[in-house]
Structure 1
Amino acid sequence: MSNENGGNATANTQGGGAPSVNVLAQYVKDLSFENPGAPASLAPREQGPELTINVNVGAKPLSETEIEVDLKLEARALSGSEVLFAAEVIYSGLFRIMNVPEEHIHPFVLIECPRILFPFARQIVADVTRNGGFPPLMIDPIDFVALYQQNMAREQVGAPN
């Protein structure tokens, strides 16, 4: 396989073309919803539940230009110590990234790719919580730049000198 310049198509920083990303596939890799106290957990409450939402992004190269990115959203609603619901989705995408300089690949993959996946994963969480008998949980937009910077800072603190 070759690119327009006759070079190797697996060289994602060569060829001189404009940087590009193609979404080759998007899919649910894992989906879980637990409603352990139903039907009692569905009863109206004076106080809203305490919500905890965790976000995690992972990436695995499949070739020099194709990368699988996993966006994991975990949501848990508690009323006191009672778990009202727990939802988890790993929503993944297969991306082809071309002509992005090597030093920019890591942030590009962990910022731009999850930004593309997020609206779909968010809708899945909203649908599964609604189908579980609760109001749909609409997760606020996520600042993937800030998340990336926090993770990089955490890694640098934990890295040996």
Structure 2
Amino acid sequence: MAKQASNGGEPAEETKPAEAAANQAPGIHVLGQYIKDLSFENPGAPNSLRPAGSNPSLDVNVNVNAKPIGENQFEVELKLDAAAKRGEDTLFVTEVVYGGLFQLRNVPQEHVHQIVLIECPRLLFPFARQILADATRQGGFPPLMIDPVDFAALYRQRAQQSAEAEAPKTA
């Protein structure tokens, strides 16, 4: 960094305008990502791998949890689970809890909750999706390619459910 003499004759730190703007711009910094839990069960193997006339039914669930772990730092967990059945027979059950450690910079407090529960899981999703696709492929099935998730809609849905649960019941 360039030094410049101040009026007292001592060198002073000079901040470049681009660096100063970047230091004050809101942002998300990914400190780390990791598999927290991974499970794949193929209870009917090898019979579940045989071709059958009907397509299996697939049930996919998405859940997001977050907790603060330090000043402006949050652990976000994205849980994806899926179960495939053909009739009453379970073909496979799989689950991944994929975590991320995030640090927020210069984010107004009123936006922190939304960023942590919308933008952070959006960053984690492609990695968790790929892990499930690999697990199902290694389990002998076609890769499970989960459709993109609208985390903003999921956030609004949860906020509405919380508001309804907290609203006083009138008779």
TM-score, length basis structure 1: 0.89
Question: How far does the alpha carbon of each residue in 1:26-54 deviate from its partner, in whole angstroms, 9 at most, with x for none?
Answer: 00000000000000000011111100000
Q: Which amino acid aligns with 1:50?
A: S
Partner of 2:66: 59
Higher CA-based Rg:
2
Question: How far does the alpha carbon of each residue in 1:106-138 deviate from its partner, in whole angstroms, 9 at most, with x for none?
Answer: 011000000000000000000000000000000
Structure 2: distance between partners of 1:35 and 1:110: 32
Partner of 1:48: 55
Aligned-pair Cα RMSD in Å: 0.9
Q: What displacement does 1:154 show?
A: 0.7
Partner of 2:7: none
Which of 94, 102, 105 matches 1:98? 105
TM-score, length basis structure 2: 0.84
The answer as to 2:153 corresponding to 1:122 is no
Aligned 1:8-19 pairs, distance under 5 A: 17-19=24-26
Q: What displacement does 1:160 show?
A: 4.0
Where do 4+ consecutive residues of structure 1 move more than 4 Å? none
Structure 2: distance between partners of 1:129 and 1:98: 37
Structure 2: distance between partners of 1:99 and 1:130: 42
The answer as to 2:81 corresponding to 1:74 is yes
Q: Which amino acid aligns with 2:106?
A: N
Q: Which amino acid aligns with 1:48?
A: N
Partner of 1:110: 117
Q: Percent identity?
A: 60
The answer as to 2:22 corresponding to 1:27 is no
Q: What displacement does 1:102 show?
A: 0.6
Q: Which runs of 5+ in 2 are unaligned?
A: 1-22
Structure 2: distance between partners of 1:64 and 1:159: 29
* Residues paired across the two proteins, number: 146
Q: Which amino acid aligns with 2:128?
A: A
